[in-house]
Amino acid sequence: MAHDHHHTNNKKVLLSALVLISILVIAEVIGGLLTNSLALLADAAHMLSDFFAIGIALIAFKVGERAASKSKTFGYKRFEILAALINAVLLIGISVFVLWNAIQRFQEPPEVAGGGVLVFGSFAIIINLLIAWIMMRGGDVKGNINLKGAFMHVLGDLIGTVGVLISGILILLFNWTIADPIISVVVSLLILTAGFRVAKDSLHVLMEGKPPSISLQKIENRLNEIKNVRSIHDLHLWSITSDFPAFSCHLVVEDGADRDEVLQKSSTMLKEEFHISHASIQIEGDDADCTTRC
């Protein structure tokens, strides 16, 4: 029941964040056009990518609720990873576009209304702080990786809006219009870095990579410590989705060993010590065919 409660709260939090972000994107686009600020438009682009990211996270919660079927035996939980990969591509594309425009502005820095940038930048920080507060207060930011990823995007937005404010102050006080493309480059590089990181993590899961938080060597050592286990082979550790690790292996046990006991002990150990609830373990005797492992 606690899981269902968190799940419902997470969806409500993401829906609230979507509404606030849509308001902020519209405001920043209008502000960027009125003040001729690329930094403001760059932050609006970042916020737009986050709108899609949070929207995808919300859809992932909904799609992930669908039960497993004969054709989708693990259900639809991996949709979260596919959604993250799509979001990463969007992040990279937006950052490259902003970088290109910033380079053009370095050659001929345009006039930028610093006061207007300051006003819209301040509004953006207030909205981002409100979104972060809603997520921390109402959502399972620490326990749910899907929501945590959306929360990290919001923190990135805060950095971007701080950059916009700095740009506005420099232009207003010193008429340093080149600050606008400089801040744009910094924001776009932050977006690019986040995009590559999300893409890397998503591809790692899609390629059945090992969860980074779990040591395969430690699992092997602990399995070898179980009474009557002689050897282990065909170990596989992968992720169905970001918070759903899966494991399989073959355990060779001594003749006369209680195989049910070995299976029970190994399954319990994996669940309690490594938080692996989905484990497929095949028990074999010394006389098993070893052509596939020798």
pLDDT digits 0-9 by tens, 22-74: 888 888 888 888 888 776 777 787 777 778 778 877 887 777 777 777 888 77
Residue 144's pLDDT band, with cuts at 50, 70 and 90, is: low
13 and 49 part of one domain = yes
202 and 276 part of one domain = no
Q: Does some domain include residue 293?
A: no
Domain that holds residue 253: 216-284
* For residue 114, pLDDT beyond 70: no
| Cα–Cα distance measured from residue 158 to residue 154, given in angstroms and rounded to the nearest whole number | 6
Residue 291's pLDDT band, with cuts at 50, 70 and 90, is: very low
* For residue 1, pLDDT beyond 50: no
Q: Which of 176, 207, 238 is the last residue of a domain?
A: 207
204-239 pLDDT per residue, tens: 888 988 988 899 999 999 999 999 999 999 999 998
Residue-level pLDDT at 249: 95
37 and 92 part of one domain = yes
Range 239-268 average pLDDT: 90
Range 193-201 average pLDDT: 82
Q: Which of 207, 234, 266 is the last residue of a domain?
A: 207
Q: Does some domain include residue 291?
A: no
> Could you give the C-alpha distances from 286 to 45, 100, 233, 253, in angstroms and in order?
62, 64, 13, 7
Q: Which of 207, 238, 271 is the last residue of a domain?
A: 207
Q: Does some domain include residue 290?
A: no
258-290 pLDDT per residue, tens: 999 999 999 999 999 999 989 999 999 876 655
Q: Does some domain include residue 292?
A: no
